[in-house]
Structures are given as C-alpha cells and as structure tokens.
Amino acid sequence: MHQSQLSLLAWIGILFLTAIGMPLTQGTALAGEQQQAQQAEDIVLIKFRQPDTDESSDPQDRPRGGGSRQICKTGTNQSEIVCTNQSLTALVPSNQLSSNTSSAWGLTVEGRPTLWFYVPYSSNAIHQVIFELLDSNGTKIFVEDTLKLSDTPGIIGYRPPLSQALEIHKTYRWHLLLRLDPASPSGDAYISGRIKRIARPPHLQQGQDLRQFASTLAKAGIWYDTLTVVSNLYADDPRYWQSLLTSVGLKDFIEEPISRCCASSK
C-alpha cells in the first residue's frame, strides 16, 4: 500500500473518531450538568436541630388527631375530589414514645408566639374551634372558643391574642379541639402539645436577613419561631418551608396551602 493511501486512511480514522467523540463529550457534559442540578436541588437549605432535653418527652401530648375517617376535599381544579387519610396535626417536631404515643414540644423566644396546625377539614364542616392554653399548674390562662377558620383544608398559623405574654423559662400546654358534629362529641378532632418560652440569645438579631435569621433559629432549636419566619419566605422561595418540614419528619405537608388564622366572632 502506498504511503499516500496510508495517510488517507489515518486521516479518515481521525475524522471518524472525532465525529464519534463529539457527541460523547457533549453527552458527558450534559450528564454532568444534570447531576449538578440534581445535587443543587437536593441541598438542605435549612435543618432544624432539636434541643437535648427531657422536656421533649411527655405521653400527655397528642400531636395528631384521630385519623380513622377518610377526609375528602375539592382539588385545585374545583371539580376533582381528593381523598386523604391525613388527620388534624400540630406542626411540631414529634418524639415517638411508643407504638401509639408521641410528644410535641417546642421552644419560642416570643411572648405571643404563632402556633401552626394542619387542618384537613373544610371550614364549612367545622362547627366550633376551641383553643386553650394552660400553665404548668394546669390553670387555664387563655381560652378562645369563637374562632372561625377559613381557607381550609390547609395549614394555619394561629397567634393567640394573649392579654399577658408568656413568661420566660416556663412551659405551657395548649389544646386545640375542632367540633365537627355538635350532636356527637365522639367525632371531635383533638390535639395537644407544649411550648416553652426562653430568653432571646444575644446572637439572635431580628435585623438579619430572613433566611439567615431562620437558619440561626433552627440551629438554636427554637422551633415555633423558625417555622413562623420561614412561612414569611414561602411566597418568594417555598424551598425553605419544604426543607424545614422535611428535616423534622413533616414532609407529608410541604405542598399544603398556608393561611393566616383566625377570625374571632366575639
């Protein structure tokens, strides 16, 4: 074979390998970009650190109501009926104590904090809402029995209009009861949990960027205020809300609508 023919064959081989290599290189680059995008999507934006304390365990807490009934609600297109087995739930980190009991406890630095709940019932199906707050002696310091819910099913943030602020270093128990059928109390939905106010740590400055402030609260283990701050970020970036709920085992509620609560008929 002449030298010129060998050169021609070598040149053809180079062109062939180049033609094959180009799409492979592009494919590798594309796969790398997709992997980076997935890794970015999987980043935990905010993670809650539960404080180490014996107070987080109390069998009297009831973070979830009875879930034996299947609840149906109208879908986003207003014609589809979506059924769920979700129950009335306190959006609080839950500490499993046994197969059928768990506790619900969290910290706040606010004297008049916001508490968060998932309500699976339509506001039209709720006959009465009763919220109670008790001190450590079991004395009722606040009772609200004329609340009117709206925009449910969904998540509500309720800030009780307390006449006096919660005291620092004291733990309070709350109760939330939804009366669905006034003729049958056995059908009531009921949950309970606890909240403790602590002194504001010096490094917690409200003038911070909301994302930074929420992250600082989460690292300090201050649950109720972390969730409230993150709720204010939801409209601009729902990923923070979703990341926080996922970090404490509340992933089932990340897509539920959020509304402020509540109107009193007094």
pLDDT along the chain (266 residues), means of 10: 50 48 48 47 76 71 65 49 71 71 85 96 88 95 92 93 96 94 83 95 80 93 96 93 95 90 68
pLDDT (0 to 100) of residue 60: 74
pLDDT (0 to 100) of residue 143: 96
Q: Provide the CATH topology of domain 54-264.
A: Immunoglobulin-like (2.60.40)
pLDDT (0 to 100) of residue 156: 95
The model's pTM is 0.76
pLDDT (0 to 100) of residue 61: 75
> Could you tell me if 212 and 15 are in contact, meaning their C-beta atoms sit under 8 angstroms apart?
no
Q: DSSP assignment, residue 58? A: -
Tokens of 217: 């609260």
> Could you tell me if 224 and 110 are in contact, meaning their C-beta atoms sit under 8 angstroms apart?
yes
Nearest to 66 by CA among 184, 152, 190: 190
Helix (H) or strand (E) holding 28: helix 3-41
pLDDT (0 to 100) of residue 188: 87
What's the CA gap between 198 and 183, in Å, rounded? 41
Tell me, what amino acid is at 211?
A: R
pLDDT (0 to 100) of residue 20: 46
pLDDT (0 to 100) of residue 32: 52
Tokens of 150: 């709206």
Query: Sign of dihedral through CA atoms 38, 40, 43, 46?
Result: negative
What's the CA gap between 118 and 91, in Å, rounded? 7
Helix (H, G, I), strand (E, B) or coil at 170: strand
The predicted-structure confidence for 145-197, as pLDDT tens digits, reads as follows: 999 888 889 999 999 999 999 999 999 999 999 998 888 887 789 999 999 99
The C-alpha torsion from 251 through 217 and 138 to 156, rounded to 10°, is -40
Q: 3-state DSSP helix/strand/coil percent for the chain, to nearest 5?
A: 30, 25, 45
Q: Which residues are registered as beta bridge partners of 156?
A: 117, 259
